[in-house]
Structure 1
Amino acid sequence: MAAFALALGLWPATPPATAAAPGGGTFLGVASCSGSTCHGRQEADGRIVRQDELMRWQEPSTPGGAHSRAFSILSNARSRAIAGRLGIGDATASATCLGCHSAPAASRGPRFQAADGVGCESCHGAASGWISAHYAVGANHKRNVALGMTALDDPRTRASVCLDCHFGSADQGQFVNHRIMAAGHPRISFELDLFSTLQQHHDEDGDYALRKGRTNNVRFWAVGQAMALERALNLYANPRLGQEGVFPEFYFFDCHTCHRRIQDGDEAIRTGIRNPARPIPEGMPAFNDESMIMLSAAIRVAAPGMASRFDADSRAFHAGLAQDRATAVAAAAKLRASTTALAATFSSAGFGRDQTFAIIETIASEAISPRFTDYEGSVQAVMAVDTLLNALVNAGQVNGGAAGSIRADINRAYAAVRDPNDYRPLEFRRALGGAVRTIRTLR
């Protein structure tokens, strides 16, 4: 799965980091975790945890090492060019970049090194309150969390941390607006379970399960989609972020509803495709609804009683965008409330074998597939099918060898969305449909 995500460029250049240390703690730096009796071994021979976590975090050529490279890439040619176009000076010293490529300066302790990039504490929380207690005799996860460690085993908490940079937050240096993207920053993409898999530095053995429970990959996927939409709606409603001068902030909108060929001849070819879930006039940019589409599939299976309200609120939000900002913001608030309730419902849902198969089926169903008219939604769909199939294999609910027979269709779907400038919707639909039909036979 990681190889295909990398081929798509789905591992972004801005890995997640929290904008402020939880509870006012201090970031002590990676060196504080690097002892050979802690997480700095060269081999995974620890009795409770692997203890080679830092080596995996630093792996130079894999997605697992992307966080350790977050600061160093600010010095490469692409980053220098982006900084030059934006007029922000040296990217390695700019608050515009450091909010995600390092830890906030105000929270750094004396041993913290900016070159650490996105280190342990960026995800696990500033360590000053819990570092000496988390390995003590009698330590447990609940107490560690009480002392300031981030509870990444909770899908909503993990999604919130990751989204700070894998979508954005209102804090300084954690919002990649349209101007930054126009200057050359990579497109932001996020899917909680897939990205968690790419960054996983631990083993989910019996000891892990005893301390934190088993990860339900489908639950993480569903909650991640809900949290991503909640974050997008919350930031869109923020008057400081939702507009850029006289224009709306185009970061929130689907790139491909605007970035198409200009046709002004007598035989102009219509490049936009009407989307049945977006009641907006022809020619208007569409809000990026990739997570809405995925949630519409998941909700039909896991929370059918909430489906009609969610779909109605989604359509009302799109319609509000065609009226004025006040109407759109009010509609965003209603949709956000529905989404928050959905995240809570999904957080306690079991997502068993039958439900997972049903969600895969629904993604490619006649009720959902007509909404894959733009690039971003199609990328989410192929990531979802890949993620959900892997969840079935990881849970022992589908034979890995049998699942391998579906890889060719999934690869073709990935190929159709690999390049946003060469998006091939018909090829994508055919490949996704082929994958789902074969998955159906495994049920």
Structure 2
Amino acid sequence: MGGSRKFSVGLGALGLLAAFAILLFVRPGEPAVAQGTGGGATYVGVASCGGTTCHGRSEADGPVVRQDEIMLWQDPATAAGAHSRATAVLSEPRSQVIAQRLGIGEASRAPMCLGCHATPPGPRGPRFQLTDGVGCEACHGPASGWLSSHYAVGGTHANNVAHGLVPLENPKVRAGVCLDCHFGSAGEGQFVTHRIMAAGHPRISFELDLFSTLTSHWQTDRDYRERKGAVESIRMWAVGQAMALDRSLSLYSLASRGTEGVFPEFYFFDCHSCHRQISDDPNFRPSAVANPGRAIPSGMPPYNDENMIMLSAAARVVAPALGARFDRDSRAFHLALGRDRASSVAAAGNLRASARALADAFSSATLGRAQTFAIIDSITSDAISPRFTDYAGSVQAVMATDTLLSALVNEGQVSAQSANAIRGDINAAYRAVRDPNSYSPGEFRASLGRAAAAIRRLR
């Protein structure tokens, strides 16, 4: 099962990961409604995977897969170990303060927290331990149905999937699983509301391919490709962007998620468009910059359009006709937000359909060297870069640039030496979004433009 990229992501990506304190906890599910454990299957626990002939070795010397996957999952010092630390985090002072402000008792026992900070609820066997955090089965599915076929001599991946193993090599499936906690679902404890963030919870931010790399404990080698097929970084990135927007809009459309009392659920809106410096000084100049992609009156909170910006850039290269439709639906959705909730929910449905169509287009398109370079150019083009007016979209742009450059290296289109030579430009772009309070649209665009120009020279 697979390994990290030949070309490592830079320190900037790791810095963003630490800054966001990203949630790395998952459950299979449809865009809005989590599916549970499927047919009464049972979680058997991490210990059931930990034999030295399975995934419990101390060295990556297995003949087929690494076999040290649990050691990597438990690594206390890296992003790869974040899942195993998920429940322990709930006992730390910050979590205790958040729980106190929310009035939910102990965070380590609160359903509001455990929906993502532990393996999801479901039937549990005698070896299962809640304190394991987000264990193997949180991502791969409860193992009672597929564990024996998984280690059987002559067993196949297809047979494992038929018995309940989640096929995470499929970009749509992986995105659906990760987004349950990296964005939210209708399941209990799997949605970070604005109220929870106001209590101190980190802002949610996610990009499927980059985060897959940062938490990687597998190797996409020949054996992996023979059993599961090739997993292309650019496809994972593009499909992930489409699925993230689909999930966002599906949850916004739910009355139970889209409103909080008399207010809309502000989780869905761009945090930093409202959280700006305020002054009564007559000489004060607001820092807000007009965004041409948001057809809304000044002063209204804009929907978080980070995934819309990335999808628009990718669609211009991969599916221009669908891209034009997507842009129209995006503008119509923003406009509808200024009218009433019923109009915005209807417009969200149209935009979801366009996002899903783009996910299908990305899944089937040829995404090679030329397309990758073209998407990098598109992200920094005159049609897209004026939309980088707020922090969230800019973070997505930096992560996308890093992901796409890494894809070029891993596919042998650009040498690792050449890519490392411009790592400084990529990290400079990361520094431009390191602190949301000092974010400057103009400075960011210039920094991202320099990084893109450096990548362009690698052609």
TM-score category of the 2 structures, normalised to the smaller one: over 0.9
- Quote how far apart the aligned CAs of 1:305 are: 1.8
Q: State the match for 2:191 in structure 1.
A: 175
Q: State the match for 2:138 in structure 1.
A: 122
**For residues 134-149 of structure 1, what are the structure 2 equivalents within 5 Å?**
134-149=150-165
Q: Is the 2:20–2:202 Cα contact (8 Å) retained in structure 1?
A: no
Provide the rounded CA distance (Å) in 2 between the counterparts of 1:13 and 1:433. 27
Say which of 5, 9, 24 aligns to 1:15.
Answer: 24
Letter in 2 for 1:108: R
2:336 is equivalent to residue 320 of structure 1: yes
**For residues 60-209 of structure 1, what are the structure 2 equivalents within 5 Å?**
60-209=76-225
- Quote how far apart the aligned CAs of 1:150 are: 0.3
Say which of 328, 348, 355 aligns to 1:332.
Answer: 348
Identity of aligned residues (%): 63
Q: Is the 1:2–1:198 Cα contact (8 Å) retained in structure 2?
A: no
Provide the rounded CA distance (Å) in 1 between the counterparts of 2:411 and 2:12. 21
Deviations 1:127-172 (A, max 9, x none): 0100011121221111111100000000000000000000000100
Q: State the match for 2:4 in structure 1.
A: none
Provide the rounded CA distance (Å) in 1 between the counterparts of 2:149 and 2:311. 39
Give the 3 Å change call, closer, same or farther, for CA 10–384 of structure 1 in structure 2.
Answer: farther
Give the 3 Å change call, closer, same or farther, for CA 427–21 of structure 1 in structure 2.
Answer: same
Letter in 2 for 1:350: T
Q: State the match for 1:6 in structure 2.
A: 14
Say which of 395, 410, 413 aligns to 2:429.
Answer: 413
Provide the rounded CA distance (Å) in 1 between the counterparts of 2:39 and 2:374. 41
- Quote how far apart the aligned CAs of 1:107 are: 2.8
* SS of residue matched to 1:68: coil
Deviations 1:235-265 (A, max 9, x none): 0000001001111000000001110112333
Q: Is the 1:242–1:249 Cα contact (8 Å) retained in structure 2?
A: yes
Say which of 417, 425, 440 aligns to 1:401.
Answer: 417
Q: Is the 1:257–1:284 Cα contact (8 Å) retained in structure 2?
A: no
Q: Is the 2:42–2:123 Cα contact (8 Å) retained in structure 1?
A: yes
Deviations 1:330-364 (A, max 9, x none): 00000001111111111122210000000000000
Provide the rounded CA distance (Å) in 2 between the counterparts of 1:93 and 1:308. 48
Provide the rounded CA distance (Å) in 2 between the counterparts of 1:329 and 1:2. 39
Say which of 301, 323, 330 aligns to 1:307.
Answer: 323
| Most deviating of 19-28 and 93-102 | 19-28
| Most deviating of 44-53 and 406-415 | 406-415
The total of aligned residue pairs comes to 443
**For residues 255-266 of structure 1, what are the structure 2 equivalents within 5 Å?**
255-266=271-282
- Quote how far apart the aligned CAs of 1:435 are: 1.1
Q: State the match for 2:398 in structure 1.
A: 382
Q: State the match for 1:427 in structure 2.
A: 443
Q: Is the 1:23–1:148 Cα contact (8 Å) retained in structure 2?
A: no
| Most deviating of 263-272 and 245-254 | 263-272
Q: Is the 1:412–1:428 Cα contact (8 Å) retained in structure 2?
A: no
**For residues 4-43 of structure 1, what are the structure 2 equivalents within 5 Å?**
4-8=12-16, 9=18, 12-18=21-27, 20-43=36-59
Q: Is the 2:143–2:165 Cα contact (8 Å) retained in structure 1?
A: yes
Q: State the match for 1:231 in structure 2.
A: 247
Q: Is the 1:12–1:189 Cα contact (8 Å) retained in structure 2?
A: no
Provide the rounded CA distance (Å) in 1 between the counterparts of 2:291 and 2:121. 45
Q: State the match for 1:282 in structure 2.
A: 298
* SS of residue matched to 2:351: helix
Provide the rounded CA distance (Å) in 2 between the counterparts of 1:105 and 1:404. 43
TM-score, L = length of structure 2: 0.95
Letter in 1 for 2:15: A
Give the 3 Å change call, closer, same or farther, for CA 11–200 of structure 1 in structure 2.
Answer: farther
Letter in 1 for 2:73: W
Provide the rounded CA distance (Å) in 2 between the counterparts of 1:10 and 1:225. 21
* SS of residue matched to 1:38: coil
2:445 is equivalent to residue 436 of structure 1: no
Letter in 2 for 1:5: A
Letter in 1 for 2:21: P
Q: Is the 2:376–2:452 Cα contact (8 Å) retained in structure 1?
A: yes
Provide the rounded CA distance (Å) in 2 between the counterparts of 1:10 and 1:314. 29
Q: State the match for 1:352 in structure 2.
A: 368
Q: Is the 2:20–2:203 Cα contact (8 Å) retained in structure 1?
A: no
- RMSD in angstroms over aligned alpha carbons? 1.2
| Most deviating of 312-321 and 4-13 | 4-13
Provide the rounded CA distance (Å) in 1 between the counterparts of 2:454 and 2:59. 40
Say which of 261, 285, 290 aligns to 1:269.
Answer: 285
TM-score, L = length of structure 1: 0.98
- Quote how far apart the aligned CAs of 1:11 are: 5.8
Q: Is the 2:22–2:205 Cα contact (8 Å) retained in structure 1?
A: no
Q: Is the 2:12–2:431 Cα contact (8 Å) retained in structure 1?
A: no
Letter in 2 for 1:276: P
2:230 is equivalent to residue 214 of structure 1: yes
Q: Is the 1:12–1:166 Cα contact (8 Å) retained in structure 2?
A: no
Provide the rounded CA distance (Å) in 2 between the counterparts of 1:21 and 1:106. 6
Provide the rounded CA distance (Å) in 2 between the counterparts of 1:82 and 1:196. 28
